[in-house]
Amino acid sequence: MDTTDTTPVILELLRAAAKAHGVHEEQDLGGVYDEHWPEWYAAHITAQLDERGLRLVRVADLADGGAHDAS
């Protein structure tokens, strides 16, 4: 998968995270701005990638046949 393939996936995940985070701020935090939103987004996007059976892999690991598992 090259960058032209990953950009739409990341964009979709970011948009979904933004929507879910708005709900989280409203419902779980009582409308308070979440100063730790980057951590929340990272955890949310990681979970979404996992649910889709996707993960990040180092290009070098692909080049050497995956000898250094990125998980």
Q: Are 56 and 32 in contact (CB under 8 A)?
A: no
* pLDDT per position as a tens digit, 38-50: 999 999 999 999 9
**Section 3-29 average pLDDT:** 90
CA proximity to 44, closest of 58, 57, 25, 61: 25
Say how far apart CA 65 and CA 2 lie, in whole Å: 17
Percent of the chain beyond pLDDT 70?
A: 85
Confidence at 67, pLDDT banded by 50, 70, 90: low
Going by C-beta distance under 8 Å and a sequence separation of 6 or more, which residues neighbour residue 24?
34, 40
